[in-house]
Amino acid sequence: MIRSMTNALEFEIHHRLDGALARTGTITTPHGTIQTPAFIPVATRAAMRGITTEQLAGTGAQAALVNAYHLYLRPGHNLIDRAGGIHTFMNWQGPTFSDSGGFQVMSLGVGFKKVIDMTGDRAENVTHKKEKLAWIDDDGVRFKSHLDGSMHTFTPELSMQIQHGIGADITFAFDELTTLHHDYYYQIESLDKRTHPWAVRSLAEHQRLNAERSHRPPQALFGVVQGADHEDLRRKSAKFLGEMDFDGYGLGGALRKENIGDIVRWMNEELPDDKPRHMLGISEPDDIFACIENGADTFDCVSPARVARNGAMYTRRGRINITRAQYKDDFTPFDADCDCYSCEHYTSAYIHHLFNADELLSKTLATIHNERFIVRLVDDIRASIADGTFFEFKNKFLTEYYGDRSQ
């Protein structure tokens, strides 16, 4: 058993998986514990669209992640601080994470509103679809608000001030999110001139704020590893950050799906073993298994809720769209194996009707189901690591979920 403890966070490892980097553990924060591995649902603007925090807690979610960029613009981190912090403001009793805002301001810089293309399949400039709204230099990022067009500048210091005002238990250092469209030499420059120096500045400001704000619970800070899909750069970034006094680490940036497991392994082989690692932005079952197998402890993603709002719902047999005509007369639960509120109280026909009638309740019930599905999947993965059946469970689940497409 390995235990790491700081003023803001304690991490204890309980089980390890033979032949892999997977482990189970417990993260202890001022607002409660997280049993790992764990999926962390995203409540971007201090809310998950269409459901209450009580409903989110009902999915079994142990923690929630909010976003510094959006909360800085509206309602403002100072207001949240005056309210007593994010837990009081959004009535969430468990642990919280806050994203640094880097993804949002960098995505404005490449002309994408919500999603940055990470495939690397196209070589052309990706800014042609939307107006470029952010400009990066070695000091930070200057950007135009997507709300009113006002100009703002994010620096590592401001990101930390925003996150401390929000009051999340676990915060992230400000970093530059590159894409696979950036060449190798740009990736080197990004690490050396921005992500790594910004990590140093983020840590210094974080330590200052923790000391200055002793009337608030102490907050933890995770450094964010970058390097795209280059093994040498991923290992370099992990070594650099691993020598700093972070409470844990974020595994971020551009990843090719086909080698996501390898990239996570490269980073975790270099990072301190006794500190937690958070994977930023994954939710597909094959990716979840790959990242956990290679040492990720927690991860977040908006996808389960986002696809739910369009009628796409997860099952053990794959993702199915409830708006299909076959569900019009189906008076059974959508997923008989699911223990979520939606499946226990409503039929497929009813949820199908809600989507066809464009009722807001449709999105609520689908979101509850999808969040519970992913939370429960990771709970089952955690149990399989503890009892040594991870690989058997992985093969069985992915074969059933993807069918002939399973690896």
Active site residues: 99, 300
Query: How far apart are the C-alpha atoms of 58 and 125, rounded to whole Å?
Result: 43
* Single-letter amino acid code for the residue at 166: I
Residues 230 and 250: their CA atoms lie apart, in Å, by 17
Q: 151 pairs with which residues across the strands?
A: 144
Q: Which residues contact 375 (CB under 8 A, 6 or more apart)?
A: 39, 41, 59, 60, 61
Among 333, 337, 301, CA closest to 317:
337
Kindly report the backbone phi and psi dihedral angles of residue 341, in degrees, each rounded to the nearest multiple of 5, phi listed first.
-60, -40
Structure tokens at 85: 């912090």
Tallying the residues shown for the chain, one arrives at: 407
Decide the pairing of beta strands 220-225 and 170-172: parallel
Residues with Cβ within 8 Å of residue 200, at least 6 apart in sequence: 244
Judge whether 381 and 289 are in contact, CB under 8 Å: yes
Do 218 and 30 form a contact (C-beta atoms < 8 A)? yes
Residues 6+ apart with CB under 8 A from 2: 12, 13, 273, 274
* Both structure tokens of 372: 């519970």
